[in-house]
Amino acid sequence: MKFSKLIYSCAGLMVGFAMTMGLAVQSEAANFNIAKARVGDGIPKSLTGKAGDAKKGRKTAIHRKKGNCLACHTMPAPEQADHGNIGPDLKGVGGRYNIAELRLRLVSAKVLNPDTIMPSFYQSSGFHRVQKKWKGKTIISAQDVEDILAYLVTLK
Ligand code: HEC
Q: For ligand 1, what atom is nearest to the CA of residue 113?
A: 18
For residue range 104-133, list pLDDT tens digits in order: 999 999 999 999 999 999 998 877 788 888
Using 50, 70 and 90 to split pLDDT, how confident is the model at 34? Answer: very high
Q: For ligand 1, what atom is nearest to the CA of residue 66?
A: 38
Cβ neighbours around 123 below 10 Å, total: 18
For helices 99-107 and 142-152, the axis angle rounded to 10 degrees is 140
Domain boundaries, the chain: 3-152
3-152: CATH superfamily: Cytochrome c-like domain (1.10.760.10)
**CA distances to 22, 41, 141 from 29, in Å:** 16, 21, 8
Query: How far is ligand 1, taken at its centre, from the CA of residue 115, in Å?
Result: 12
Query: How far is ligand 1, taken at its centre, from the CA of residue 36, in Å?
Result: 22
Residues 94, 153: contact at Cβ < 8 Å? yes
Instruction: Give the number of C-alpha atoms closer than 13 A to the C-alpha of residue 72, restricted to the C-beta side.
Output: 19
Best probe residue, ligand 1, of 25, 72, 123, 145 (max atoms within 8 Å of C-beta):
72
For residue range 75-105, list pLDDT tens digits in order: 999 999 999 999 999 999 999 999 999 999 9
Ligand 1 touching residue 61 (CB < 6 A) = yes
CA nearest 71: which of 140, 138, 9? 9
